Amino acid sequence: MKLSNIQIATSFSTGQFADTFPYLSDNILWIIAGERVLEGKPAVTAFCNQTAKYFSEVTTEFKISNTINSDNYIAIEGTATFINKTNKKTVVSSCDIYHFENDSLIQINSYCITENK
């Protein structure tokens, strides 16, 4: 079953990366503001797999607070709460902006703020 653009964006923003891989453009660009820029599908999928491994090692809760869907763009705002094995809790507020063209995800801009440093 083919995912809609909103389903792709929601899956990505909630850490279900593998579900989105078939929809990534070969030349995808993922800009994580202030942290890194990933260019190309191999770089993006490798980072996603590394991130998914971290998610599997902690208790993770995603909450989406707002979604904006406009033509070829989708923005998802939310929070992610991570609790590690020593019960340390980290809360990250984020906004991901997705750009789609020709049934492919071509760019993601992510803005993340750790709330409890």
As a residue count, the chain comes to: 117
**Taking residues 8-12, what's their average pLDDT?**
97
Tell me the CB-side half-sphere exposure of residue 52, using CA atoms within 13 A: 17
Mean pLDDT (whole number) for 80-90: 92
In this predicted structure, the answer to whether residue 117 has a pLDDT above a threshold of 70 is no
- Answer yes or no: is pLDDT of 104 > 90: yes
Task: State pLDDT tens for residues 51-75.
Answer: 999 999 999 999 999 999 998 999 9
Q: If residue 37 lies in a helix (H) or strand (E), which one and from where to where?
A: strand 36-39
Q: Is the pLDDT of residue 33 over 70?
A: yes
DSSP 89: E
Q: What's the CA gap between 38 and 27, in Å, rounded?
A: 10
Determine phi and psi for 36, rounding to 5 degrees. -170, 165
In this predicted structure, what is the pLDDT of residue 1? 84
37-50 per-position pLDDT tens digit? 999 999 999 999 99
What's the mean pLDDT in 67-91? 94
Token readout for 101 is 């063209």
- Residue 27 and residue 106 in contact, taking contact as beta carbons nearer than 8 Å: yes
What is the predicted pLDDT for the residue at 35? 95
The percentage of the chain sitting over the pLDDT mark of 90, rounded to a whole number, equals 91
